[in-house]
Chain A
Amino acid sequence: MVTTENGLTPIQTGTDVVETVSRELDQYITFTIGDEEYGVDIMAVREIKAWTETTHLPNTPEFMRGVLNLRGLIVPIFDLRCRFGMGLTEATKMHVVIIVKVEERLVGILVDTVSDIITISQNQLQQVPKMDRNIDDEYLSGLVTVEGRMVALLDVDLLFKPQSIDKGIALGEAAVGDQKR
């Protein structure tokens, strides 16, 4: 007797519906540079580690502090203070590197301290007013007040997207040229 699995045709299950997470509340990791407090989207942050000596890359802009070994990956470290035109950070063991993912790349941000994780809703966000400052405000996605402190939220995608790194390199090269001259 031959039996076929007649009628046992399995039912096609519907494709998994990805649950849309409510985007109303965002979490940010905040850190300080001098007296300023900044925040980055916690989803972009991969890890936080103490500053270790980096390997300097030749002919790169000043804010590019070199590369370090992150478990086999070579990760460039950017000095945010220097990036914002406030001079080079005198990095010590107490300084912190925040590793963030920007598009497909991992980059490290050298900051003074990491202070907090804040949860804010979109309506707490304020537009960035034009400031008489060195910070290019195009990298700020908004301002928020937390317990009386003002936190500037950074858009790391804009800050470290490859084009702007390229631009940075061009600037750096120009700087090197200046030095040589």
Chain B
Amino acid sequence: MPQDFNLDQFKATYFEECQELLAAAEEHLAIVQKELTNVDVEVLHAIFRCVHSIKGGAGAFNFTDLISFSHIFETLLDKLREGEIAISPQLADRLITAVDVLAILVQKAQQDEVEDPSLWHDIAEDLKLFTSGDGEPVEEIQEPVGLVIKDYNLTPEEEEEQGWGLFIDIPDAPSLSDDSDVEDLKDFNPNYRITFVPEPHLLRFANEPLLLVRELSTLGTCKATADLSRMVDLDVINPDEAYLSWIFELETDRKKSDIEEVFEFVVDDCELVIEKLDPETAKIKSDDSVQMAAPKQNVQDVPSPPTVDADAEISVEEKKVVEKPAVPQLEKPKLPETKKTETQVSAPAAATPSSTAGKISSIRVELDRVDRLVNMVGELVISQAMLKQQAEDLMKDSSHVMQQGFEDLSAHTRELQESVMAIRMQPVKSVFARIPRLVRELSGKLDKKIDLITHGEMTEVDKTVIEQLMDPLTHMIRNSVDHGVETQEERAAFGKPERATITLSAEHRSGRIQIEVSDDGKGIDRERVLQKAIEKGLLPMDHDLQDEEIDNLIFAPGFSTAQTVSDVSGRGVGMDVVRRNVVSLGGRISVFSTPGKGTRFLMSLPLTLAVLDGMIVRCGSEKYIIPLTSVIESIHPLAEEVETLVNGGTVVCVRGEYIRIVNLFRLFNIKGAIENPTEGLVVIVETERYGHVGIIVDELLGQQQVVIKSLEENYDPIAGISAATILGNGKVSLILDVDGLADMEHGTERRRTFANLEQQVLLTGEQAHGHD
């Protein structure tokens, strides 16, 4: 078993947790920064817990930088939540930086990079400065120095004031040498006895017994007896080793699990026995132990733990796992003279971290497994569709019962698929949550006053999409803050409100997620864009671009119009990269700008790599699928309803509305397809950029739920095609990208109108061809 043990597995889990903890800490810090003065103490607790957990894990894996830094950080947070230090904007700022540094350290540890203390020393000094604002620095108290912690307790009144909370410390912690409170013990009725013998290496894993004692004392009245028997002479003392052990007697109305919780982080690095005491015996026992300086008898029964040398630390980790099943052996009566109702070593409790997380009912599953499940369900849907199709041919006149069965099967498959897909869905909140901070930082740097409004952050989207959303979104926000929003002076000159607004919203729209970033800034300066494009040789002088096309030039590679290249944006890689990222996700991005009023970026991404309801259409010998969500209607236009425009485009008039025709057969170069809209069918679809357009197809073949398969996985993106799927007959069918098609049609129309052949070749890489 030890041979099979792999520390890396635990490390991976730890780093995953770290990411979550860091994200949570950041989220809570954002609240702190927003509220500053009246921060809910629970928020501070939450941040503390995050940092503390990171430290705990770092201890287990011996990431020294991480331990040291998180310890300093934690100390400051501890003071904060006790209200010993007031939160100032400066402090909040430093806290955010500290979380960043923590994230870097975690990353360094993850990549096994050489630790570089210079990374965090500056900020650590700052944190220390804040910490030492008042009160005694907690870290100076180290018990190996020989301090004896005695009779550390809390009156019930104090306890009441503390309220409930796992980590709440005593604000007016009595100094350690204070043993004047013995008189409080007269009605002390301990009902628990806790024997706590740290392993020598406990301190090295950044655990501080004093903090444990404090936590314990929040549970009730606590009396501690220190055992010095393991203490060595001063000249051979190793400050990294724990020599002391304690017996605590605790009077509390809490459950045993609450006590176990206190020791949760150290349970693997110590001997821990929690016994429930019978009230009468306890009374006597407690008196005994008051007089007993050190319960030597008990301690001698404990063989001294193995001396741990530096390179054996990994083995210790292993040992912990190996030992777990063996732990119940400790049930041998340890203190025979004590009548106990329950004896249990709490080590097994540590194996189930859920002891603290009873409220969170989630499990961590590898994405791979979910993917396999998703794939299998996809296959199931396909075979179900296939069966249904075959059965329909068979049972034209057979019983309705079978047909009913198929209906049920299809409903169940669909439901199964939806639930499986839901596993992968997450709200975009995790991405949106980081934006306020970005805006705050950037606006501070650029001295602009900006309000950020977010909508629809609970909109759910597939995890893979979420993961890849962050970069493009960050770029877009940066762009809006830096280029979009004017300086305060400019805004004043234009008579605009002093504070600019950036709106970030997400919504589900026609089976996709649409994310919009808009600002009320100056809009795109088309003159400058054109000038720049011509300067860079992207455009000839005598272009004939329309406003909208000029706006979209900002997505061209190497384009930046910022007057000064700032460190915020303006390196000319921004929007180009954004577009590439978005397109690689199967999405689209477009920009709408009104000079003087603002700019609006619209990003549309697929919700998932999952399923969609599709309309199967035929064009020539090819079958295509049009996403049902974008289909409005299909019509057989009459000859008089079809008009040809001067630029060669065709429109069809539907109830007074002129709808542009997309000639699918021409765009895809399909032979033998119906080319005249009056002979075929026009499917009217909704697009984002071109409103309603009509696609000419030969006929509609039916409607079906299809599983989206990526074309890009093994090939490259193809214009006008968003993905592929597999039909009931096992053949691949392509899913049309209606926006892309409209774009292509628009492009060919534009090309036909070009007077300047050279320019056309430049923009399209194609020569003109006559309208047929």
Residues of A within 8 A of B (CB): 1-13, 53-60, 66-69, 71-76, 105-107, 162, 165-166, 169, 173-174, 176-177, 179-181
Please tell me if B37 contacts chain A, counting CB pairs below 8 Å.
Answer: no
**Stretch from B282-290, B354-362, B558-566, B725-733 at the A interface:** B725-733
Set B3, B301, B724: member contacting A67, Cβ < 8 A: B724
Chain B: which residue is nearest A180 at the CB level?
Answer: B769
Is the pair B332, A2 in contact by a Cβ cutoff of 8 Å? yes
What is the bound-complex CA distance between A2 and B315, given in angstroms?
21
Q: A5-B323, A106-B714, A165-B715 are in contact. List 7 more A-B contacts (CB 8 A).
A: A1-B332, A2-B334, A4-B271, A6-B305, A57-B715, A59-B669, A76-B715
Please tell me if B135 contacts chain A, counting CB pairs below 8 Å.
Answer: no
Tell me which residues across on chain A come within 8 A of B489, comparing CB atoms: none
Is the pair A59, B316 in contact by a Cβ cutoff of 8 Å? no
Is the pair B730, A69 in contact by a Cβ cutoff of 8 Å? yes
Tell me which residues across on chain B come within 8 A of A74, comparing CB atoms: 709-711, 713-715, 724, 726, 732
Tell me which residues across on chain B come within 8 A of A165, comparing CB atoms: 715-716
Is the pair A107, B714 in contact by a Cβ cutoff of 8 Å? yes
Tell me which residues across on chain A come within 8 A of B731, comparing CB atoms: 53, 55, 68-69
Count contacts between A and B, CB distance < 8 Å: 135
Is the pair A179, B669 in contact by a Cβ cutoff of 8 Å? yes
Show 26 A/B contacts (Cβ-Cβ < 8 Å), sorted by A: A3-B329, A3-B330, A4-B302, A4-B303, A5-B322, A5-B326, A6-B303, A10-B318, A55-B622, A55-B724, A55-B731, A57-B711, A58-B667, A58-B718, A58-B734, A73-B714, A74-B710, A74-B711, A75-B714, A76-B715, A105-B714, A166-B716, A174-B765, A176-B669, A179-B669, A181-B769
Within 673-724 of B, Cβ neighbours of A (below 8 Å) are at 709-711, 713-716, 718-721, 724
Is the pair B319, A9 in contact by a Cβ cutoff of 8 Å? yes
Given contacts A10-B318, A12-B314, A55-B731, whether A105 and B271 have CB atoms under 8 Å apart is no
Please tell me if B766 contacts chain A, counting CB pairs below 8 Å.
Answer: yes
Please tell me if B505 contacts chain A, counting CB pairs below 8 Å.
Answer: no
Is the pair A55, B305 in contact by a Cβ cutoff of 8 Å? no
Set B303, B382, B720, B765: member contacting A58, Cβ < 8 A: B720
Please tell me if B531 contacts chain A, counting CB pairs below 8 Å.
Answer: no
Chain B: which residue is nearest A58 at the CB level?
Answer: B668
Is the pair A55, B709 in contact by a Cβ cutoff of 8 Å? no
Within 310-342 of B, Cβ neighbours of A (below 8 Å) are at 312, 314-316, 318-319, 322-323, 326, 329-330, 332, 334
Smallest distance from the beta carbon of A79 to chain B beta carbons, Å?
14
Is the pair B732, A55 in contact by a Cβ cutoff of 8 Å? yes
Set B271, B710, B713, B730: member contacting A2, Cβ < 8 A: B271
Is the pair A69, B726 in contact by a Cβ cutoff of 8 Å? yes
What is the bound-complex CA distance between A75 and B719, given in angstroms?
18
Tell me which residues across on chain B come within 8 A of A59, comparing CB atoms: 667-669, 718-720
| B 189-209 to A, binary, CB cutoff 8 A, 1 in contact else 0 | 000000000000000000000
| B 366-389 to A, binary, CB cutoff 8 A, 1 in contact else 0 | 000000000100110010000000
What is the bound-complex CA distance between A128 and B453, given in angstroms?
65
Please tell me if B647 contacts chain A, counting CB pairs below 8 Å.
Answer: no
Is the pair B319, A5 in contact by a Cβ cutoff of 8 Å? yes
Please tell me if B767 contacts chain A, counting CB pairs below 8 Å.
Answer: yes
What is the bound-complex CA distance between A22 and B716, given in angstroms?
36
What is the bound-complex CA distance between A7 and B721, given in angstroms?
66
Please tell me if B495 contacts chain A, counting CB pairs below 8 Å.
Answer: no
List the 9 shortest-distance A-B pairs measured between CB atoms, nearest first.
A10-B2, A58-B668, A55-B732, A76-B715, A180-B769, A177-B766, A105-B714, A9-B315, A69-B726
Smallest distance from the beta carbon of B271 to chain A beta carbons, Å?
7
Please tell me if B670 contacts chain A, counting CB pairs below 8 Å.
Answer: yes
Is the pair B726, A72 in contact by a Cβ cutoff of 8 Å? yes
Chain A: which residue is nearest B376 at the CB level?
Answer: A72
Set B301, B312, B730, B734: member contacting A57, Cβ < 8 A: B734
What is the bound-complex CA distance between A133 and B669, given in angstroms?
31
What is the bound-complex CA distance between A58 and B550, given in angstroms?
29
What is the bound-complex CA distance between A57 and B719, given in angstroms?
10
Smallest distance from the beta carbon of B653 to chain A beta carbons, Å?
28
Tell me which residues across on chain A come within 8 A of B332, comparing CB atoms: 1-2
Set A2, A10, A73, A169: member contacting B301, Cβ < 8 A: A2
Set B668, B713, B730: member contacting A105, Cβ < 8 A: B713
Is the pair B316, A9 in contact by a Cβ cutoff of 8 Å? yes
Is the pair B709, A72 in contact by a Cβ cutoff of 8 Å? yes
Within 653-669 of B, Cβ neighbours of A (below 8 Å) are at 667-669
What is the bound-complex CA distance between A67 and B710, given in angstroms?
11
Is the pair B718, A60 in contact by a Cβ cutoff of 8 Å? yes
Chain B: which residue is nearest A1 at the CB level?
Answer: B332
What is the bound-complex CA distance between A72 and B733, given in angstroms?
12
Given contacts A55-B731, A105-B714, A107-B714, whether A2 and B767 have CB atoms under 8 Å apart is no
Tell me which residues across on chain A come within 8 A of B305, comparing CB atoms: 4, 6
Chain A: which residue is nearest B730 at the CB level?
Answer: A69
Chain A: which residue is nearest B711 at the CB level?
Answer: A74
Smallest distance from the beta carbon of A50 to chain B beta carbons, Å?
14
Chain B: which residue is nearest A13 at the CB level?
Answer: B3
Please tell me if B405 contacts chain A, counting CB pairs below 8 Å.
Answer: no
Tell me which residues across on chain A come within 8 A of B672, comparing CB atoms: none
Please tell me if B163 contacts chain A, counting CB pairs below 8 Å.
Answer: no
What is the bound-complex CA distance between A162 and B719, given in angstroms?
17
| B 168-189 to A, binary, CB cutoff 8 A, 1 in contact else 0 | 0000000000000000000000
Chain A: which residue is nearest B719 at the CB level?
Answer: A59
What is the bound-complex CA distance between A66 and B766, given in angstroms?
23
What is the bound-complex CA distance between A59 and B716, given in angstroms?
12
Tell me which residues across on chain B come within 8 A of A5, comparing CB atoms: 319, 322-323, 326
Given contacts A58-B667, A58-B669, A72-B378, whether A67 and B306 have CB atoms under 8 Å apart is no
What is the bound-complex CA distance between A2 and B731, given in angstroms?
69
Is the pair B306, A6 in contact by a Cβ cutoff of 8 Å? yes
Is the pair A2, B330 in contact by a Cβ cutoff of 8 Å? yes
Tell me which residues across on chain A come within 8 A of B766, comparing CB atoms: 177, 180
What is the bound-complex CA distance between A169 and B712, given in angstroms?
14
Is the pair A173, B765 in contact by a Cβ cutoff of 8 Å? yes
Which of A12, A58, A71, A166: most chain B Cβ within 10 A? A58
Chain A: which residue is nearest B195 at the CB level?
Answer: A2
What is the bound-complex CA distance between A55 and B624, given in angstroms?
10
Given contacts A54-B732, A67-B724, whether A4 and B306 have CB atoms under 8 Å apart is yes
Chain B: which residue is nearest A108 at the CB level?
Answer: B714
Smallest distance from the beta carbon of B269 to chain A beta carbons, Å?
12
Which of A9, A57, A74: most chain B Cβ within 10 A? A74
What is the bound-complex CA distance between A58 and B667, given in angstroms?
8
What is the bound-complex CA distance between A10 and B2, given in angstroms?
6
Is the pair B301, A1 in contact by a Cβ cutoff of 8 Å? yes
Chain B: which residue is nearest A107 at the CB level?
Answer: B714
Is the pair B319, A10 in contact by a Cβ cutoff of 8 Å? yes
Smallest distance from the beta carbon of A87 to chain B beta carbons, Å?
19
What is the bound-complex CA distance between A180 and B326, given in angstroms?
78
Is the pair B734, A55 in contact by a Cβ cutoff of 8 Å? yes
| B 100-122 to A, binary, CB cutoff 8 A, 1 in contact else 0 | 00000000000000000000000
